[in-house]
Structure 1
Amino acid sequence: MAFFSEIDELQEHFKSHNKTREYQAHTSKVHSVGWSCDGRRLASGSFDKSVSIFTLDRDRLNKEFTFRGHGGSVDQLCWHSFNTDLLSTASGDKSVRIWDTRSQKCAATIVTKGENINIAWTPDGNTIAVGNKEDLVTFIDTRTHKIKAEEQFNFEVNEIAWNKQSNLFFLTNGQGCIHILSYPDLELQQVLKAHPGTCICIELDPTGRYFATGSADALVSLWDVEELACLRTFSRLDWPVRTISFSHDGRLLASASEDLVIDVGEVETGEKVVDIPVEAATFTVAWHPSQYLLAFACDDKDTYDRKRDAGTLKVYGFPSD
């Protein structure tokens, strides 16, 4: 019976914590959201070339400031895994930037070869990997802000990720595979045939036991990091899975697509915990690092002018009034 009580307990939590708050963040589409490692700040990156920083104050967010400086769309962002003040952004302007929320300034700009779309910072904080539209992955030393390696792939590279030890590098590709490379020598260790369709996104869970991938076939597959075996799939969405996120305790997996819900499933059983209703395709989801709060951003349009992007970010999981 313990089996059922766990999912019941999670479902009960969201019955009383199902409020979504919406915040004006940008003048255009929001591509990426992410929480700082202490959960005090939420950042969003947008097509409008800026990065907005919010602070979480109990049950609401307050906009703190906006970072400007990129000359192109901010496609993905990621925070440092243990320095609460640093985050990095990948932009179409052929650069990576590191921002410091304490000084509210850009701490470094690293010029790269192409239009960047994906970024991942190692858990040990020493390396940032960034992928561009030409499937070149660039590895940046965060202590010197110099490029230490580049790897050109001959297939479509989608999202990238690191394992907890920062010695394995994962990437998803257009052929439905997950490539695992050793780091720093970048030797191919394994190719997993994960999906019949394009593998779009990948995320490693905070406990280090699992990783999950979302695919164009509308499936999310869950893998054991040690065994490299697929444990189960989540198949409740009907559209290509654009974005996934594990909760802080590794118990929940959120996945989103063009479906008008964000699916939240229990990792251990694959069962549905809750659906979060949305009004448009969802580009990015991110669980808070210590609470069941899910930040997300959709392709919403302005209420008064349907041609304009709303530029809002949302957070689900606040106590219901």
Structure 2
Amino acid sequence: MQSLTEHVNEIAWDMSGEMFFLTTGNGTVEVLAYPSLRALDTLTAHTAGCYCIAIDPLGRYFAVGSADSLVSLWDIKEMLCVQTFTKLEWPVRTISFNHTGEYIASASEDLFIDIANVETGRSVHQIPCRAAMNSVEWNPKCNLLAYAGDDKNKYQTDEDYIFKEIFTVPSLNFSEIT
């Protein structure tokens, strides 16, 4: 494997475990074969640093969040960008697909978490937040989204913090938000 000269922000495996993805500070995604770590592709994904990456649970797509405030959706077989999500206005810190791969949650310093339909790219729901979010993660079996941000204060216990940051999405039959 060649040595990377770029700053690596986040890493992910594809569902087969045969491809390894690295997001870089120069806006690219490096795709490596495993176990050889041979470079398969370098994708120019964004105009600014790529901060986060998530693999869809069905293995169809991967998504990349960037400092340019965009989330790009990539076809994993073709290595082509097929969709862009544009609701956030600050650098994207975290992204996660729900258990069916139908929805993606993304968050930043905006005071909401955006949930969008993967196929249409349209926002279907927004969860208000009190602070910038550092992490969002869907439950692997149901529409339950956990998230954590910058706003824990000295009066909250760890238990209070965890339980306050869980959002249950009972049906995800939201009317589309424009």
* TM-score normalised by L of structure 2: 0.88
Which structure is larger by alpha-carbon Rg, 1 or 2? Answer: 1
Query: Contact (CA 8 Å) 2:152, 2:161: kept in 1 or not?
Result: no
Match of 2:161 in 1: 312
Match of 1:268 in 2: 119
Matches within 5 A, 1:114-153: 152-153=3-4
Q: What's the % identity of the aligned pairs?
A: 51
The offset of 1:301, in angstroms, is 3.6
Confirm whether residue 247 of structure 1 aligns to residue 92 of structure 2.
Answer: no
Match of 1:296 in 2: 147
Match of 2:175 in 1: none
Matches within 5 A, 1:12-161: 152-161=3-12
Name the CA distance, whole Å, in 1 between partners of 2:41 and 2:160: 39
Residue number among 30, 43, 53 corresponding to 1:192 in the alignment: 43
Name the CA distance, whole Å, in 2 between partners of 1:292 and 1:186: 35
**1:165-216 CA distance string (max 9 Å, x none):** 1111100000100000111111111000000000000011000000000000
5+ unaligned residues in a row in structure 2: which ranges?
A: 171-178
Residue 259 to residue 189, structure 1, CA distance change in 2 (3 Å) = same
Match of 2:30 in 1: 179
SS in 2 for 1:312: helix
Confirm whether residue 237 of structure 1 aligns to residue 85 of structure 2.
Answer: no
Residue number among 54, 58, 63 corresponding to 1:207 in the alignment: 58
Name the CA distance, whole Å, in 2 between partners of 1:318 and 1:154: 41
Query: Contact (CA 8 Å) 2:33, 2:39: kept in 1 or not?
Result: yes
**1:246-276 CA distance string (max 9 Å, x none):** 0000000000000000000000000111000
Query: Contact (CA 8 Å) 2:59, 2:76: kept in 1 or not?
Result: yes
More strand as a share of residues:
1
Higher relative contact order (CA 8 A, sep 6+): 1
Q: CA RMSD in A?
A: 2.0
Name the CA distance, whole Å, in 2 between partners of 1:205 and 1:151: 28
Residue number among 70, 76, 79 corresponding to 1:219 in the alignment: 70
5+ unaligned residues in a row in structure 1: which ranges?
A: 1-149
**How many equivalent pairs are there?**
167
**1:290-311 CA distance string (max 9 Å, x none):** 1110000011142759xxx998
Residue 151 to residue 298, structure 1, CA distance change in 2 (3 Å) = farther
Query: Contact (CA 8 Å) 1:302, 1:310: kept in 2 or not?
Result: no
The offset of 1:153, in angstroms, is 2.2
